[in-house]
Amino acid sequence: MVGYQEWVDFQSGLDTRQKANVINNFNVTNSNPGNVYWVIHSSKAFYQDFYDTHQVQYSDGSWAVHPDAGTGDGIAAAIAACKGGRNDSVLVMPGSYQLTAALTMAGKSSVHLIAVNGGGCEVGTVGAVLLQQTGNFACVIMESYGELSGFQLINKAGYPAVTAATGIWRPNIHNNYFHMVQGTACNIIAGTGSGFSHGFICNNKFQTWVGGSITTAINIATTATGVTISNNHILNYSGTMDTGISVNDAKQCLISDNIISDCGGAGTITVGIYMAAATGNILVGNRMGLPTGSGISGGTADKSFVQNFDAENGGATAIET
């Protein structure tokens, strides 16, 4: 990785191709990055300057900069340019992207979809890059070993924001801000089958955008294994949510340090965290601003729980079952 001082000292003497490579290496945190692709609104006043200083053609014939009309077309093109397993990154510049189709990483393992100016927050993101669904599809469809970080996402009512199909293992979804538009039988992050197995869903913020009815903020399906769900904040200010986090019959999941709240009763959450009985999962240090008896459902008494609290007596007593 190129350090800041090295970038400052040497960028002025490089040609366009070399300069783009240095800038790319400076921005990407992976120790051995593959190709780095940039996405920028073509309507931005600084678009041409950005294009001139960042555009470069890689040895595989692909181009580094992908202009976007504000519909997600440039993001989709950048993802399409990635090669599965090469550890490529797509860096999306600030702006609102009204998606006309799902952004799918299918067949592109180890791709990093990163929002520029999306870091720096312990939980969530400032949300300078917005992905909003305009049709009946998910915002992002994950692939194994993929990363999604730094985005503000607004789903369409009744449709999930992020999905992982069965067989999609070890994705990393972190530091995103999910504005929940609620619709019947809708999971904001939705796994099917073994999707999300051994993956990470951490440090995300979920907050009501449009009230109504919703199933879960995070739903892990029955055959998944070893998912880590940690340090997420789930705030339902209006409408009804069945469950904050549901792992169903999934096994060996760690669910820790999450905050789940109905915002003082402004909204409704029936159950904070749900898992089937005797599934081998562990819940540690979760805090739920929910009425007595609504914090946790399922699990095995004296085995599944360590220091989880609901709002009874201000969280004075840990939930055992």
∠ Cα 58 60 63 (to 5°) = 45
At position 279, the amino acid (one-letter code) is T
Q: Encoding tokens for residue 135? A: 């049709």
Contacts (Cβ under 8 Å, ≥6 apart) of 5: none
**DSSP-derived 3-state class of residue 84:** coil
Q: How far apart are CA 34 and CA 83, in angstroms?
A: 9
Contacts (Cβ under 8 Å, ≥6 apart) of 68: 39, 40, 41, 42, 74, 75, 95, 97
Q: How far apart are CA 273 and CA 234, in angstroms?
A: 11
Cβ–Cβ < 8 Å for 107, 85:
no
Cβ–Cβ < 8 Å for 87, 23:
no
Cβ–Cβ < 8 Å for 25, 89:
no
Q: How far apart are CA 284 and CA 305, in angstroms?
A: 6
CA distances from 81 to 77, 144, 316 (A): 6, 17, 53
pTM: 0.89
DSSP at 93? P
**Judging by DSSP bridges, how do beta strands 36-41 and 65-68 pair with one another?**
parallel
Cβ–Cβ < 8 Å for 75, 39:
yes
Name the H helices within the chain. Answer: 4-10, 16-27, 47-54, 73-81
pLDDT at residue number 18: 46
Low-confidence ranges of the chain (pLDDT < 50): 1-20, 22-30
pLDDT at residue number 1: 34
Cβ–Cβ < 8 Å for 72, 101:
yes
Cβ–Cβ < 8 Å for 231, 205:
no
**DSSP-derived 3-state class of residue 19:** helix
Q: How far apart are CA 172 and CA 102, in angstroms?
A: 18
Q: How far apart are CA 102 and CA 139, in angstroms?
A: 5
pLDDT digits (tens, 9 = 90+) for 75-85: 999 999 999 99
How far separated are the first and last CA of the chain, in Å rounded? 48
CA distances from 48 to 74, 91, 293 (A): 15, 17, 58
pLDDT at residue number 321: 57
